[in-house]
Amino acid sequence: MTIRVWRDRLGVILPPVLLAGLAITSLRIGRYPVGFGDIASVLLDDGTGMPVERQALLHTIVVQTRLPRIAGAIVVGAALSVSGAGYQAVFRNPLVSPGLLGVLAGAGFGAALGIVGDVGATGVHVLSFLGGGLAVAAGVGVARLFDAASILMLVFGGLVSSALFTALLSLLKYVADPERQLPDIVFWLLGSLTQVDMSDLLTISVPVLGGIVLLSLCGRMLDALAMGDDEARTMGVPVGVLRYGVIAVATVLSALTVSIAGMIGWIGLIVPHVARLLAGPRNTRVLPLSACLGGAFLLLCDDLARSISAEEIPVGLIADVLGVMVFVSVLRLVRRGWAA
């Protein structure tokens, strides 16, 4: 009994501590060498015995350049992973990812529309977010034409919506100016955190954190949903409200990430598996742990993206490659996470 209690407590405390450690370590990574002492002095605002110019330089590097980027990686990774865990719970399927209902295709289309329409960076963010929401609304709308909350119809609606918005995206690529706009679209679709600044971060952090908390609070109801809709209903769960509510929150989370960081796939699929492997299937555990692990994973990918070569590599590529490697290496274990 006590061993289990302690293991449970450790499971709650350890992941955020490790994530914080990784974040602080990541502040050191980059072209200009910065030590732990320097980081401490900047973060604690205690520059005693340091020349003023160096203080200013350190402040610029650590606070203005590296910190938003690191925080961005954590927020985006966490949002995508929680979103994936939410989708998997609602669809009772461990192979579902946040893209299922078309959010990624729609957000990609929205961003490309912004780039082709020359609406500026903020406009691209907004259009991308709206595109993601619109695509999911279209997918759910198609599903509702036939049968209210059936999982199969939702999957079908998502397929239709994804196909439509992927086609529209291709159309935009076709008409985009090949010198100026097409490369922007392609680069944006690869996924990158280079554009993330403090104001983006502040805009998305609040809804992302709120969404993570909200989904985590629904954890036990999602556990009941895993037993089947009828059973969940007879146990008092408002199944329709829960399903659409979780889809809405998870969609907002992933659309927000795409709007600031482009297309970063996979991790929403993989991270919840690893979380389930570590903490068991209960969603009250899986959702917050997915947030921590997803944040850490994307941060690690971004550290690699900006350090393995002089020319930065889009983090979306690294996340895909590393994600595949992680997934394949834990697949045998992960399968234990889906009851045979």
Partner 1 sequence: MGGVTVLSMDRVGFSRDGQPIVQDVSFAVGEGEMIALLGPNGAGKTTILRLLLRLLRPDKGKILLDGRSLAGLRRRDLASRIAYVPQGHAVIFPYKVRDVVALGRLADTMFSPVASAADRAAADAAMGHLAVGHLADRSYAALSGGERQGVLIARALAQGARILVLDEPETGLDYGQQRRLFDLLRHLAAEGYAIVATTHDPLRAARTFARAILLRQGRIMDDGPAVTVLSEQSIATLYDFDA
Q: Which of 276, 290, 316, 334 binds partner 1 (CB under 8 A)?
A: 276
> Site for partner 1 (CB under 8 A): which residue of 144, 245, 282, 304?
282
Window 84-113: residues binding partner 1 (CB under 8 A): 92-94
Is residue 339 a contact point for partner 1 (CB under 8 A)? Answer: yes
One of 17, 56, 148, 227 touching partner 1 (CB under 8 A): 227
- Rounded to whole angstroms, how far apart are CA atoms 52 and 204? 33
Binding status of residue 28 toward partner 1 by CB under 8 A: no
Residue 21, Cβ density class (10 Å: 0-12 exposed, 13-18 middle, ≥19 buried): exposed
Torsion, CA 238, CA 240, CA 246, CA 249, rounded to 10: -110
Nearer residue to partner 1 within complex by CB, 57 or 235: 235
* Count of Cβ atoms closer than 10 Å to residue 68 Cβ: 18
**Residues 193-222, mask of contacts with partner 1 (x by CB under 8 A):** -----------------------xxxxxx-
Size of the site for partner 1 (CB under 8 A): 32
- Measured from the CB atom, the residue of 206 and 339 that comes closer to partner 1 is 339
In the chain, the amino acid numbered 240 is G
327 CB burial (10 A radius; 0-12, 13-18, 19+): middle
Q: Does 82 bind partner 1 (CB under 8 A)?
A: no
In the complex, what is the shortest distance from the CB of residue 290 to partner 1, in angstroms, rounded to a whole number?
A: 14
- Name the minimum Å distance from CB 324 to partner 1: 23
By CB atoms closer than 10 A (0-12, 13-18, 19+), residue 57 is middle
Q: Which of 117, 234, 325, 333 binds partner 1 (CB under 8 A)?
A: 234
Interface with partner 1, residue 173, by CB under 8 A = no
> Rounded distance, CA 14 to CA 128, Å?
35
- Give the span between the Cα atoms of 105 and 100, in whole angstroms: 10
Name the segment binding partner 1 (CB under 8 A); options: 17-25, 40-48, 61-69, 276-284: 276-284
3-state class of 51 per DSSP?
coil
CA distance 97 to 135: 15
Cα–Cα distance for residue pair 32/35, rounded to 1 Å: 10
CB of 179 to partner 1, least distance (A): 50
Whether 267 contacts 191, CB under 8 Å: no
Q: Is position 53 an interface residue for partner 1 (rule: CB under 8 A)?
A: no
Per DSSP, 263 falls in state -
Cβ at position 120, least distance to partner 1 in Å: 41
Q: Which of 123, 233, 278, 327 binds partner 1 (CB under 8 A)?
A: 233
Residue 71 vs 218, nearer CB to partner 1: 218
Q: Is 226 in the site for partner 1 (CB under 8 A)?
A: yes
Stretch that binds partner 1, among 71-79, 151-159, 305-313, 330-338 (CB under 8 A): 330-338
Q: Give the shortest CB-252-to-partner 1 separation in angstroms.
A: 19
The window from 73-81, 134-142, 274-282, 305-313 that contacts partner 1 (CB under 8 A) reads 274-282
Backbone phi and psi for residue 14, each to the nearest 5 degrees, phi listed first: -60, -50
Encoding tokens for residue 273? 């598996």
C-alpha neighbours within 13 Å on the C-beta side of residue 140: 16
Residue 7 is a binding residue for partner 1 (CB under 8 A): no
Q: Spell 178-201 as b/e; 16+ CB within 10 A means b.
A: eeebbebbebbbbbbbbbbeeebb
Binding site for partner 1 (CB under 8 A): 92-94, 216-221, 223-224, 226-228, 230-231, 233-238, 276, 280-282, 284, 336-340
